[in-house]
Amino acid sequence: MTSFDLVEPRSLEEAFRYLDPSDPAIRPFGGGTALMLMIKAQMYKPQRLVSLGRLGGRFSGISFDANACRIGAMTRFATLEHSPEIAARLPVITEAMKTLANVRVRNVATVGGNLGHADPHLDLPPIWLVLDAKVTVVNRGGERVLPVADIFSGYYETTLGNDELIAEVEVPVRQGWRSKYVKVTTRATHDWPALGLAISVQIDGHLIKDLRIVLSAAVDFPRRLLGAEAVLRGAAIDEPLLQRAGEAAAEEADMESDSRGTGDYKRHLLRAHLRRAVLALAAE
Amino acid sequence: MTSFRNIDRSVPRLEGREKVTGKAEYVHHLRLPGMLYGKIFRSTVPHGRIKHIDVSAAAAVEGVYRVVTIDDIRTIIPHPYYGPAFHDQPVLADGKVRFAGEPVAVVIATDRRVAEEAAGLITAEYEELPAVFDEVEAMTSDVIVHDELKPAATFPDLQHLKGRSGTNVALDYKLRRGDVDAGFAAADRIFEHTFRNQQVMHTPLEPFVTVAEPGDGRMTLHTASQGPSFVRIEIARLLGWPENRVRVKVPFLGGGFGGKLYIKLEALVASLALLVQCPVKISLTMEEQFFMVTRHPCTVRIKSGVNNDGKIVARRCDVIWNGGAYADIGPRVTQKAGFTSAGPYDIENVSIDSYAVYTNRPPAGALRGFGAPQTAWAYETHMDMIADALGMDQIEFRRKNLLREGREQATGTPMRDAALDAVLDQVSTRMAWSEPVDRGTGRIRRGRGIAVGFKGITAPTTSVAMVNCYADGSCALYIGTVDMGQGSDTVMAQIAAEVLEIDAESIRVIHSDTDVTPYDMGTLGSRSTFHMGTAVLLAAKDAKNKIAELARELSLPPGNNLPLPELFRRKYGMQAGNIIGTGSFIPDYEKPEKDTGRSTKATPFWGVGASGAEVEVDTETGHFTVTKLVNVADVGVPLNPKLVQVQLSGAAIMQLGFTLTEEMIFSEGQLTNGSFADYKIPTLLDLPAEFINECVESRQNDGPFGAKGAGETSTIALSPAIGNALADAIGIRLTDLPLTPEKVFKALSDAKRLWSAGG
Ligand SMILES: Cc1cc2nc3c(=O)[nH]c(=O)nc-3n(C[C@H](O)[C@H](O)[C@H](O)COP(=O)(O)OP(=O)(O)OC[C@H]3O[C@@H](n4cnc5c(N)ncnc54)[C@H](O)[C@@H]3O)c2cc1C
């Protein structure tokens, strides 16, 4: 590891002076938990890291209004974990924190860095997708708002320019929806998921009025399972329906074998856990 | 019953405070003035001839002092090959590489990160050779890993070692008792099964690290080693120096588990320091540990002849140990775990063949249990399969065949102070074995299993201890036993203190420094409490005798209570002088007879343990949880009950990882999960809800205060107990470790027993 500069701009304007659209050796720095590992493993050799820690403003804080929750990109996981408002209105996030990394990482890792890292095994991205969250991305020219899903373009790849910054995440607070995230591990309890499954439903008795299903970890980047959604949307929950939904999910998800399991096994797990998750949500 | 002041007392660890306050010394923290850092460049092919190594780009990096290959090492060590059983391992690859990850060159730089960056710029070209990875294939393969075998002849128990040249067999150990073929012919039923153990790793939290400090015709090594005396002998041999020119110092160790034995980084770092005439340090990363030393993958074929009444009359075991590219101490594992591979049973006709073979994998050596857990996985799963076939209760079947006190084990060594019955009984009680089990009917199934096992102890080995009483009456203990977290400082102080009639807390234990502390074979194989403990006992008695002698010399009446400082003052006229007691211990041993493996004294004592497990299986996904785990050990008299308890639970957690989650996975000889993101050791979250670790009342009559070793006992029977519980729950046997959810799923779906909703 040769030396590099770490700069801590206090304004966006200053930050953009440091960032460079064409130089991959210059990167924004959130909590650094992902970057430092890549640097130590010599997978990434930076020349300059631009810390977003002093930007403040829209990059920090959590706020709610009637319809939405706004989360600054520099919000630490520990802040999400301990926020009573998040626990009350977006409990799926609070729940996910219980098995996400460890206390040291949660104290440092940020919401923006987590998205920027684009590792398909991360727990929060599928949750943002299932909650239908949007991100605001700022750049020299202004800003753009896009669905979280549109950030990811491949395995560890994003659609963000090298000098674009994730500023905040906006999550709609949808009345009558319930969500669940299942981290399916196949080795030790504390492990990267073999597959991550996030489900949001709007249920009336046994009738699924609307829903979103997102699969992560076993695929290149988190993606919705539209086929399984279509089977379940507007239908009443019973065994044959759940079986059909499971088949549809297994069919549309292109899952590769890795050290966490063969593709076949993951498809089987997907069927089983999808069924269980829908039943659990219906029983809530 | 005598009452003790220090024995059977949970003396808190002497170093506990130092450790939790971050003040304990580790080599990891050591920085010497002018010290340089080495970084290893490793082979990317599993077997190949080195055509060319290009170090020019690395050498040109600013801050790089020198780049070293085997040619440079040769200027320091003319025959740069080491190893405890064979001198087969080159200090750096010599013309050939034998596993992917083997050290090929080293960059020495003023900074660790610079060295790392420069090492990344080295390139090597290989002529790739066909490779062999599987131990069974290696037995007959045309691929030969070593063209020439070079026995080391260091240890008395391995002196007959020659290997079979022209093959990959480094050692074949044979045991013959009775007539096994006649036994099979006469038996009512025959059972034969094959079992496999995967490759796993020690994972000490402190990775391997060595600092070498050259002096004027001298060399000091600060190294994370479990065997400083061996390091000194082997480094002196390599350099052609007398032992007194090599000094090996070991502070605390952050775990060793058998990995940090014999020579690891020491020969390399010593050569580098002599080449550049500066102190040099190499610290491996966590990930590099996978390429240093591992535990043997092992295939066991086991065949038993059994009568309908449940009596085993004959057993044959073929055990093949995958030693990887270099033998390390594998031949000894092959022999020691070989001779117990038929299990703790009284069988008239036994035939054992145990082979250490070379393959193109990272080398394997000693790891907690020293082979016993691999063989127990086989014989204890086999036992349950037989019991099931005979329709006998698993515990009853074992009781019927168990080796009883005084009976001869397969080698001919009589069982003494081995509480096999007692551990099995206690597990049975803790598991409430006589009560019915609710196995469940739906998706969730439950089951329980038990297993019992034993191990022989490495022999013959020597320990020497010294007790030094200073002029003010305070005492220090000089020992080569390395406290690597097991609490040996505390226990050794307890033994010395008991003899000297003082409190263990007041004794200072001087850590391994071969210029200061006397010889010890190594902190390995559960031997320290028994061997070093006895040496300490003798040293303390010697000191006590010398104190009595001094009193006599001063014409004091016998039974006088004059304190030691006063004795010194009367003798020397001031606060001055020492009393030094020494003790040395080597147990009786009889080398196994070459053709039959027979020996009447094959082991100084027996490690004895039993385990019981309950599991809960999700028969839709194959996920299962060990809900209860019981480990019962015979440790003789527990000198420090708390430390014994922690040894038993620690060893059990380690073996739990080897049973459920840990496996080094290779593709064409390349390790594919060489990081802790993908090689999963258990965390607290993986511990069973009910986790019982205890020992039975027993006594090792020739052990210090009745004690024997406790560091490995709970590893032996744990895996088969869990496998047996799993089979009890789902009615299917898994024969290959680790027991993963996907394997359970696959077994269930092959047997069409997979639970499905609505199905
Ligand atoms: C020991 C350990 C265990 C872990 N376990 C888990 C786990 O169980 N579950 C899980 O989900 N994750 C886990 N993680 C991963 C963790 O979630 C990520 O490392 C973390 O979210 C990254 O956030 P960061 O702020 O530290 O990112 P950084 O390291 O700062 O940045 C990561 C990437 O995002 C870019 N970036 C940072 N901020 C922004 C921004 N605002 N706009 C645009 N780009 C940006 C950086 O340039 C970099 O490319 C674990 C990590 C560790 C070290």
Homologous superfamily (CATH) for B31-129+204-285: Aldehyde oxidase/xanthine dehydrogenase, a/b hammerhead (3.90.1170.50)
Q: Do domains B31-129+204-285 and B294-405+412-458+593-758 have the same CATH topology?
A: no
CB A111 within 8 A of CB A72: yes
For residue range B505-553, what is the model confidence (pLDDT) as tens digits?
999 999 999 999 999 999 999 999 999 999 999 999 999 999 999 999 9
Q: Ligand 1 centroid vs A36 CA: distance in angstroms? A: 10
Distance CA B67, CA B109 (A): 9
- Cβ distance A187 to B661 less than 8 Å, yes or no, reads yes
Distance CA B548, CA B452 (A): 48
Residue by residue, pLDDT tens for chain A (284 residues) are 578 999 999 999 999 999 999 999 999 999 999 999 999 888 999 999 999 999 999 999 999 998 999 999 999 999 999 999 999 999 999 999 999 999 999 999 999 999 999 999 999 999 999 999 999 999 999 999 999 999 999 999 999 999 999 999 999 999 899 999 999 999 999 999 999 999 999 999 899 999 999 999 999 999 999 999 999 999 999 999 999 999 999 999 999 899 999 999 999 999 999 999 999 999 98
Give the mutation target among A114, A121, A260 for probing the ligand 1 site: most ligand atoms within 8 A of CB: A114
Q: What distance in Å separates residue B692's CA from the closest CA in chain A?
A: 21
Closest partner residue to B685 among A186, A189, A240, by Cβ? Answer: A189
Which has the closest alpha carbon to B718: B636, B646, B626? B626
Quick one: tokens of B575?
Answer: 């606060």
Helix/strand/coil for B192? strand
- Cβ distance B757 to A186 less than 8 Å, yes or no, reads no
Instruction: Write the DSSP string, B649-715.
Output: HHHHHHHHHHHHT----EETTEES--STTTS----GGGS-SEEEEEE-S---TTSGGGB---SSHHH
Which residues from A are below 8 Å from B665, CB to CB?
259
All structural domains of chain A, each given as residue ranges with its CATH number in brackets, are: 5-51 (3.30.43.10), 57-172 (3.30.465.10), 177-283 (3.30.390.50)
For residue range B244-280, what is the model confidence (pLDDT) as tens digits?
999 999 999 999 999 999 999 999 999 999 999 999 9
**Sequence-ordered list of residues with C-beta below 8 angstroms from that of A235, at least 6 positions apart, any chain:** A207, A208, A241
The ipTM value here is: 0.95
Quick one: tokens of A9?
Answer: 């701009």
Name the DSSP letter for residue A118.
Answer: -
- Alpha carbon of B238 to those of B65, B77, B105, B218, B266: distances in Å? 24, 6, 19, 14, 11
Looking at the CA of residue A114, tell me the nearest atom of ligand 1: 21
Looking at the CA of residue A115, tell me the nearest atom of ligand 1: 34
Residue count of chain A, please give it: 284
Interface test with B, best of A121, A257, A265, A271 (most B CBs within 10 A): A265
Helix/strand/coil for B364? strand
Q: Ligand 1 centroid vs A19 CA: distance in angstroms? A: 19
Which has the closest alpha carbon to B265: B295, B237, B233, B291? B291
Closest partner residue to A190 among B120, B620, B685, by Cβ? Answer: B685
CATH class for the region spanning B294-405+412-458+593-758: alpha beta
- Per-residue burial over B333-364, b = 16 or more CB atoms within 10 Å of its CB, e = otherwise: bbbbbbbbbbbbbbbbbbbbbbbbbbbbbbbb
Distance CA B456, CA A186 (A): 36
Residue count of chain B, please give it: 759
- Cβ distance A186 to B677 less than 8 Å, yes or no, reads no
- Cβ distance A189 to B758 less than 8 Å, yes or no, reads no
Which residues from A are below 8 Å from B660, CB to CB?
188
Interface test with A, best of B283, B742, B748 (most A CBs within 10 A): B742
Residue in the block written with tokens 């949750």 = A127
Name the DSSP letter for residue A150.
Answer: G
CB B334 within 8 A of CB B158: no
Which residues from B are below 8 Å from A2, CB to CB?
113-114, 117
Instruction: Write the DSSP string, B530-594.
Output: HHHHHHHHHHHHHHHHHHHHHHHHTTPPTT----HHHHHHHHHSSS---EEEEEEE-----PPPT
Q: Tell me the pLDDT band of B756, cut-offs 50, 70 and 90.
A: confident
Closest partner residue to A42 among B120, B660, B758, by Cβ? Answer: B120
Q: Ligand 1 centroid vs A169 CA: distance in angstroms? A: 15
Give the mutation target among A58, A105, A135 for probing the ligand 1 site: most ligand atoms within 8 A of CB: A105
Q: What is the residue extent of each domain of chain B?
A: 31-129+204-285, 294-405+412-458+593-758, 461-585
Identify the bridge partners of residue B582 per DSSP, sorted by sequence position: B466
For residue range A75-125, what is the model confidence (pLDDT) as tens digits?
999 999 999 999 999 999 999 999 999 999 999 999 999 999 999 999 999
Q: What distance in Å separates residue A29's CA from the closest CA in chain B?
A: 21
Taking domain B461-585, whether its CATH number is 3.20.20.140 is answered by no
Q: Ligand 1 centroid vs B672 CA: distance in angstroms? A: 23
Q: Ligand 1 centroid vs A129 CA: distance in angstroms? A: 17
For residue range B708-735, what is the model confidence (pLDDT) as tens digits?
999 999 999 999 999 999 999 999 999 9
Looking at the CA of residue A27, tell me the nearest atom of ligand 1: 47
